[in-house]
């Protein structure tokens, strides 16, 4: 058991049998009345964000979350196989846990997997990846779509890129929102 004084960003709490990660916290001491801790919590599994207030000194339950580096190997049916960088052990992570990260999982990509009691909670990607695109040629002078056109990256995910880019071009893509960040020169 811990108390609200142990709350810090990134800590994982067990509330009503679910795991919640602390996104933000603030200790508040009003002029009158008792102190309290205002937090913004993110559900580790669903990603839902809620605000929650705890009385100062209240008992909370913290979870032990182990974050380790893994290398993505391959997709196996409804799961993804990763290899531990230190022990070379392989683990299989269900696609429900991988979630939208699958759109940016390149072969041999380095990722961080958060585990709680041997169960994978989520897969953390680097903030950007470099990949090649497949796209139709852009028409000169076609600016009706804001100067972008659809392109497909190696994983099959579709992004928007500037009209001047051609198929086979290497680009940098933000893994958080799928935005095009720029062209990469070899």
Specify whether 6 is located in the same domain as 49: yes
User: Whole-model pTM above 0.85?
Assistant: no
Domain containing residue 80: CATH number? 2.40.50.140
pLDDT band (50, 70, 90) for residue 146: low
Among 82-86, 88-92, 136-140, 176-180, where is mean pLDDT lowest?
A: 136-140
Specify whether 37 is located in the same domain as 6: yes
pLDDT at 145 over 60: no
pLDDT computed for residue 106 by the predictor: 87
pLDDT at 14 over 80: yes
Distance CA 51, CA 39 (A): 6
Specify whether 6 is located in the same domain as 35: yes
What average pLDDT does the segment 148-165 reach? 87
pLDDT computed for residue 50 by the predictor: 92
What average pLDDT does the segment 136-161 reach? 77
Domain containing residue 34: CATH number? 2.30.30.30
- List the structure tokens of 17: 């049998």
DSSP character string of 71-123: EEEEEETTEEEEEETTT--EEEEEHHHHGGGGGG--TT-EEEEEEETTEEEEE
Domain of 95? 66-124
Specify whether 89 is located in the same domain as 56: no
Q: Which residue is listed with tokens 């928007």?
A: 160
Which sign, positive or negative, has the C-alpha torsion 98, 75, 111, 117? positive
pLDDT computed for residue 169 by the predictor: 87
Model confidence pLDDT, tens digit, residues 64-91? 888 889 999 998 888 999 998 888 899 9
- Among the three residues 15, 45, 60, which one is the final residue of a domain in this structure? 60
Specify whether 40 is located in the same domain as 87: no
pLDDT at 94 over 70: yes
pLDDT band (50, 70, 90) for residue 184: confident
Specify whether 120 is located in the same domain as 159: no
Q: Calculate the alpha carbon distances from 39 to 24, 55, 67, 133 in Å.
A: 6, 11, 22, 41
Specify whether 86 is located in the same domain as 134: no
Specify whether 6 is located in the same domain as 56: yes
- What is the side-by-side order of every strand in the sheet holding 18-28? 12-15, 18-28, 36-43, 49-55
- List the structure tokens of 109: 């990509």
Mean pLDDT, rounded, of the chain: 85
pLDDT computed for residue 46 by the predictor: 77
Say how many domains are in the chain.
3
């Amino acid at each position: 058991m811990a108390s609200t004084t142990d709350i810090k960003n990134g800590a994982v709490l067990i509330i009503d049998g679910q795991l919640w990660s602390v996104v933000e916290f603030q200790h508040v001491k009003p002029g009158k009345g008792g102190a309290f801790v205002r937090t913004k919590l993110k559900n580790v599994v669903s990603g839902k964000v809620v605000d929650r207030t705890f009385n100062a000194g209240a008992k909370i339950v913290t979870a032990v979350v182990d974050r380790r580096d893994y290398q993505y190997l391959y997709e196996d049916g409804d799961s993804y196989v990763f290899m531990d960088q230190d022990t070379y052990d392989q683990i299989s992570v269900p696609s429900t846990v991988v979630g939208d990260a699958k759109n940016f999982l390149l072969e041999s990509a380095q990722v961080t997997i958060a585990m709680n009691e041997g169960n994978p909670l989520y897969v953390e990607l680097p903030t950007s990846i470099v990949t090649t695109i497949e796209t139709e040629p852009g028409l000169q002078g076609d600016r009706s779509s804001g100067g972008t056109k659809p392109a497909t990256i190696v994983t099959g995910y579709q992004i928007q890129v500037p009209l001047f880019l051609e198929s086979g071009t290497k680009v940098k893509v933000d893994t958080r929102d799928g935005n095009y960040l720029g062209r990469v020169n070899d």
